[in-house]
Every structure is written in C-alpha cells, then in structure tokens.
Amino acid sequence: MINYGLVGYGLNGFSHVMELSKFPILQERSILVAGFDPNPEATQKLKELNKVKAAESFDDFLDTPELDAIIINSPTRFHAEQLLLEDTFNKLYR
C-alpha cells in the first residue's frame, strides 16, 4: 500500500485525488493519508475526508509518519521550496 500526501487541495488537487481513486490498478494500492493547504476552506475539505490528516503547516504535513509519497499540487512558485524541504526531510528521516 502506498500512503500518499497532497500539498495544495484546490480544484486541481481535488481532481488529482478523484482521478487517482478511479484507476483500478491503484484503488487497493494507494490511499490519501494527509494533506496541506494554507487556505482554510481547502483545509476544511480535507478534514471532511475520512482518515485524512489535514496538516496545519507544511512542516506538520512532513511530520506525518505514514507518508510514502507526496504529490505537490501547490502553485508553481512554491514548488522549489517545497521540493527542497521534502528532500531534506527524506535525507534526515527516511
């Protein structure tokens, strides 16, 4: 089972989750376990999903022990910083 997290849960992020859940090969092999979005409305949507951690910060999101993979769906201007933080996290803790 691949436990994945999603950064950025706007319309496009929601679409990613819905599309991933439709692929037969992934349906019983992957599950969304955590998400982060700085927008309170998006965070509320995350909280409404069963068994999904709605992280209060990107660092809190990275502290999710179940994470195996991360989908970065935030605005492009944040990608580099988030990738560097994720890379540092993986080197230190994984």
Q: Which domain holds residue 31?
A: 7-87
pLDDT at res. 92: 44
User: Is residue 76 a part of any domain in this protein?
Assistant: yes
For residue 90, what pLDDT is reported? 59
**What distance lies between CA 83 and its chain's CA centroid?**
13
pLDDT at 25: 81
**Greater model confidence, 13 or 52:** 52
- Is residue 93 domain-resident? no
C-alpha distances (whole Å) from 63 to each of 56, 76, 91, 94 are: 11, 23, 13, 11
Span 18-31, pLDDT tens digits: 787 788 887 778 88
Residue 94 located in a structural domain: no
Q: How many domains does the chain have?
A: 1
Report the distance separating Cα 91 and Cα 38, nearest Å.
Answer: 25
Distance CA 77, CA 31 (A): 27
Q: What is the pTM of this model?
A: 0.76
